[in-house]
Amino acid sequence: MGVIGKLLVANRGEIAVRIARACREMRIESVLASSEADDTRYVRRFFDGAVPIRSYLDVGAVMDAARAAGADAIHPGYGFLSERSQLAAACETSGITFVGPKASSIEAMGSKAGARRLMQSLGVPVVPGYDGEDQSDAIMKTEAKKIGFPVLVKASAGGGGKGMKIVRSDAELQPALESARREAQKAFGNDRLLLERYIEEPRHVEVQVFGDSRGEVIHLFERDCSVQRRHQKVVEESPAPHYPEELRRQMTAAAVAAARGVQYENAGTVEFIVTPDGEFYFLEMNTRLQVEHPVTELVTDVDLVRAQIDVASGRPLPWKEVRQRGHAVEVRIYAEDPDDRFLPQSGRIALLREPSGPGVRVDSGVMEGTEIGVSFDPMLAKLICYADDRGAAIDRVDRALREYIVLGLKTNTSWLRRVVTHPAFREGKVSTRFLIDHEEDLRRDVPEMIPLIAAALASVPQKPAARAAGGTQLPSVWDSVGPWGR
Ligand code: ADP
């Protein structure tokens, strides 16, 4: 803790850019921990320097990079690293400021089973389930029957939906336990499981919380992240649509109680699952900044990364009271093929036109020429739109997606347009089943690349020779865009 002069950012892509931007505005020197496997040409432009890093997942490698950079603070971004209590602990003992919560808070929330028990002791409701130490199949079987099918098997150390299995009958339990244990051991090095009642057609609503070193904890309202594919968020918004004020009040109070219970400092998110009857249960607390933080920034008019750095430096929370106004919607732009099982795409971005205009924010990690490899998650950018009300915010997302041009590899932009303009989404009828229930409607029926290519072509200066030839000759840029050129 103390004034930060030089900050190492141990993450990549759009989040690294986001943090570097806050540093520039705060006149803090920023250094990127840069991996060889990543094309960092775009991201580096936002930084004052860069040091190589062996792996973002290796705490020792991050500490070495911080020392090599001469940094007095580390921001872990929001990858797996940000939830490793070992990194926070290593910072605490070496006198480097960790921009995040204390190691003890990360640890307390690190196991889903442990966090559930802690929440119960604080009076925060948890999904009916089993989080005991006894992991024998016999106990799991008895407990699953007690909970009643369908049951959800979860990895206690889990994240990103890994190790999660829905079990609809007694007979399915044994194989689900085995495969969940295998997955959990492989992904997290820990095979402890827990059981929860599987809630049908729930909503995922989470609360942004923030604490400082003086023990002050506040909330910055909720985000609805119900539209998910395989338990991964696709669309996020704030406020949650059709959300009764009383429910919002109870849930934000429960979130603040949860954060206070672990003496929480810095930015965190308390995630809840909400039943169709409006009952809510604690799911987990993410002890870091989240991908979807911009929707909160837009509806509350705050800078969460700046506040993270302030609080880590020992300063009090920068706000006394935060108000929520208007509506913000975020969609995640991925290099993936929605028409072919959402397979991640790799290749070079040949042409890029990001949208802009009123109420449009793009948090991007790429530029024209960026190579998208296979080593990392293929998220290119996030598009976040703000307007006075939800309908106008959705129209803005649709308008901005129409302007979004990425050539050279396939992206999900057209599919996202179909998601946000779907009548059920417009009406705010969202649940975690949304993309399954409307899968057919969201399939592509017309080749939408044609108007996009026409728009891109119109923005490319044409060679006089091409015009003279009556447009039959393509301008030279089209030679470089691979299949789209043809
Ligand atoms: P992870 O840490 O792997 O992301 P979470 O516990 O945060 O796991 O849950 C991720 C998503 O899985 C939730 O947003 C929700 O869609 C679904 N989910 C989790 N628990 C339940 C449950 N008990 N019933 C139904 N769906 C659930």
Same domain, 241 and 321: yes
Token pair of 75 as six digits: 């921001």
Give 157 Cα–ligand 1 centroid separation in angstroms. 13
Predicted pLDDT of residue 444: 72
> CB neighbours of 147 closer than 8 A, spacing ≥ 6?
128, 129, 130, 195, 196, 197
Predicted pLDDT of residue 474: 41
Specify the amino acid at residue 94.
S
Q: Which residue has the tokens 């939408």?
A: 448
Strand order in the sheet with 151-155: 129-130, 193-197, 151-155, 165-167
Predicted pLDDT of residue 461: 59
Same domain, 187 and 208: no
- Please tell me whether residue 48 adopts helix, strand or coil conformation: coil
Predicted pLDDT of residue 55: 87
Instruction: State the CATH number of the domain containing residue 70.
Output: 3.40.50.20
Q: Structurally, how many domains does the chain consist of?
A: 4
Residue 200 CA: nearest ligand 1 atom is: 25
Same domain, 159 and 229: no
**Is it the case that residue 148 has pLDDT exceeding 70?**
yes
Q: Is residue 443 part of a domain?
A: no
Neighbours of 485 (CB within 10 A): 16
Mean pLDDT of the residues in the chain? 92
Q: pLDDT tens, 433-454?
A: 999 999 999 987 645 555 566 6
Dihedral sign for Cα 461, 467, 470, 473, please.
negative
Q: Exactly one of 18, 203, 288, 418 is catalytic; which is it?
A: 288
Instruction: State the CATH number of the domain containing residue 281.
Output: 3.30.470.20
Predicted pLDDT of residue 458: 67
- Please tell me whether residue 382 adopts helix, strand or coil conformation: strand
Q: Name residues contacting ligand 1 (CB within 6 A).
A: 127, 152, 158-161, 164, 196-199, 202, 204, 228, 231, 271, 273, 283-284, 432
Same domain, 145 and 248: no
Q: Is residue 252 part of a domain?
A: yes
Q: pLDDT tens, 399-426?
A: 999 999 999 999 999 999 999 999 999 9
- Please tell me whether residue 469 adopts helix, strand or coil conformation: coil
Say how many residues make up the chain. 486
Give 483 Cα–ligand 1 centroid separation in angstroms. 39
> CB neighbours of 99 closer than 8 A, spacing ≥ 6?
4, 7, 73, 74, 75, 76, 266, 308, 309, 312
Same domain, 37 and 186: no
Residue 155 CA: nearest ligand 1 atom is: 3
Instruction: State the CATH number of the domain containing residue 133.
Output: 3.30.1490.20
The residue whose CB lies within 8 Å of the most ligand 1 atoms, and thus the one to mutate among 111, 147, 231, is: 231
**H or E element, residue 392:** helix 390-403
Instruction: Give the count of alpha carbons within 13 A of 11, CB side only.
Output: 26
- Kindly indicate the confidence band of residue 479, based on its pLDDT and cuts at 50, 70 and 90: very low
Same domain, 378 and 345: yes
CA-nearest residue, atom 20 of ligand 1: 283
Domain that holds residue 141: 128-197
Q: Is residue 268 part of a domain?
A: yes
Q: pLDDT tens, 240-294?
A: 999 999 999 999 999 999 999 999 999 999 999 999 999 999 999 999 999 999 9
Chosen domain end from 145, 165, 197 = 197
Q: Is residue 389 part of a domain?
A: yes
**Is it the case that residue 478 has pLDDT exceeding 60?**
no
CA dist 172 and 166 (Å) reads 9
Query: What is each CA distance from 274 to 227, 250, 281, 282, 420, in whole angstroms?
Result: 13, 12, 6, 9, 21
Give 272 Cα–ligand 1 centroid separation in angstroms. 9
Q: Any alpha helices (H) in 111-244, and if so which ranges? A: 112-122, 137-147, 170-188
Same domain, 142 and 234: no
Mean pLDDT confidence for 143-154: 97
Same domain, 463 and 426: no
Contact 108, 132 (CB under 8 A): no
User: Residue 457, Cα to own-chain centre: how many angstroms?
Assistant: 33
Token pair of 21 as six digits: 């931007």
**Is it the case that residue 355 has pLDDT exceeding 50?**
yes
What's phi and psi for 210, nearest 5 deg? -150, 130
Chosen domain end from 156, 175, 197 = 197
CA dist 96 and 71 (Å) reads 8
Q: pLDDT tens, 108-122?
A: 999 999 999 999 999
Spell 426-455 as b/e; 16+ CB within 10 A means b: eebebbbebbeebeeebeeeeeeeeebbee
**Is it the case that residue 54 has pLDDT exceeding 50?**
yes
Same domain, 318 and 428: yes
Same domain, 319 and 426: yes
Give 110 Cα–ligand 1 centroid separation in angstroms. 15
The residue whose CB lies within 8 Å of the most ligand 1 atoms, and thus the one to mutate among 147, 194, 269, 273, is: 273
Give 231 Cα–ligand 1 centroid separation in angstroms. 6
The residue whose CB lies within 8 Å of the most ligand 1 atoms, and thus the one to mutate among 206, 226, 283, 431, is: 283
pTM for this predicted structure: 0.90
CA-nearest residue, atom 10 of ligand 1: 231
Predicted pLDDT of residue 363: 98
Predicted pLDDT of residue 80: 80
Q: Is residue 114 part of a domain?
A: no
CA dist 99 and 84 (Å) reads 13
Q: pLDDT tens, 89-98?
A: 999 999 999 9
What percent of the chain has pLDDT above 70? 91
Q: Is residue 117 part of a domain?
A: no
**Is it the case that residue 471 has pLDDT exceeding 90?**
no
Decide if 288 is catalytic. yes
Q: pLDDT tens, 306-343?
A: 999 999 999 999 998 899 999 999 999 999 999 999 99
Residue 198 CA: nearest ligand 1 atom is: 24
- Kindly indicate the confidence band of residue 163, based on its pLDDT and cuts at 50, 70 and 90: confident
Same domain, 247 and 392: yes
**Is it the case that residue 475 has pLDDT exceeding 60?**
no
Q: Is residue 110 part of a domain?
A: no
Helix, strand and coil in the chain, % to nearest 5: 35, 25, 40
Mean pLDDT confidence for 225-236: 96
CA-nearest residue, atom 15 of ligand 1: 231
Predicted pLDDT of residue 158: 85
Residue 161 CA: nearest ligand 1 atom is: 3
Of the listed ranges 50-54, 370-374, 390-394, 471-475, the least confidently predicted one is 471-475
Mean pLDDT confidence for 10-38: 96
What's phi and psi for 268, nearest 5 deg? -150, 165
Give 234 Cα–ligand 1 centroid separation in angstroms. 14
Q: Is residue 445 part of a domain?
A: no
Q: Which residue has the tokens 């990103």?
A: 160
Of the listed ranges 54-58, 118-122, 137-141, 162-166, the least confidently predicted one is 54-58
DSSP string, 65-126: HHHHHT-SEEE-TTSGGGG-HHHHHHHHHHTPEESS--HHHHHHHHSHHHHHHHHHHHT--B
**Is it the case that residue 472 has pLDDT exceeding 50?**
no
Same domain, 175 and 132: yes
